[in-house]
Amino acid sequence: MVNGQGADGADVYRGLREQILGLDPAEAGITAAPESGLWGGLMEMGLDNGTATLVALADGTTSLYFSTGGGVIGGGFRPPVAEATRSFLASLDAHLADLVPDASTELPAAGRTALVALTRGGRLRAEAAEDDLGYGRHPLSPVFLAAHDVITELRILQESRED
């Protein structure tokens, strides 16, 4: 669990996000998919009060953190989370053609969701309205739904830790 609220929580969030966006997968020992070079993915959701970022890496690293502070780090060691993470990355890999090269670090506005593929060739990104993704009105809806399966498994894990 990542703790922190207010300015300190926002600083932790920015630091974690920058670490992922600047990560060299080879130095971290993360193996990319042979054909596509995909080694990780993010789903960033613009909320009314900030942003939530889901991180899923090919080595099983899975985390969810919030710009307002807090989150779950290291959930990928649990089999249900690991399975959901693999499914999310497989779905993202299957939809790389629907993303465009984008090295920006902009966060989505409230009601918008960005899907980001981390590949050997650089970052790919697409952004859409959360409603369009959630209601199947966008080509990346399957990726969005697979990412939400990861979030569900992380929430189940967090709730079991609190019991």
Q: Does residue 138 lie in a domain region?
A: yes
Q: Does residue 1 lie in a domain region?
A: no
pTM for the complete prediction? 0.91
Count Cα atoms within 13 angstroms, Cβ side, for 159: 6
User: Where in the sequence is the domain holding 86, given as residue range(s)?
Assistant: 6-162
CA 106 to chain centre: 14
Q: Does residue 47 lie in a domain region?
A: yes
- Phi and psi for 47 in degrees, rounded to 5? -110, 165
- Chain segment 73-122, per-residue pLDDT in tens: 877 778 999 999 999 999 999 999 999 999 888 999 999 999 999 999 99
- Chain segment 19-28, per-residue pLDDT in tens: 999 999 999 9
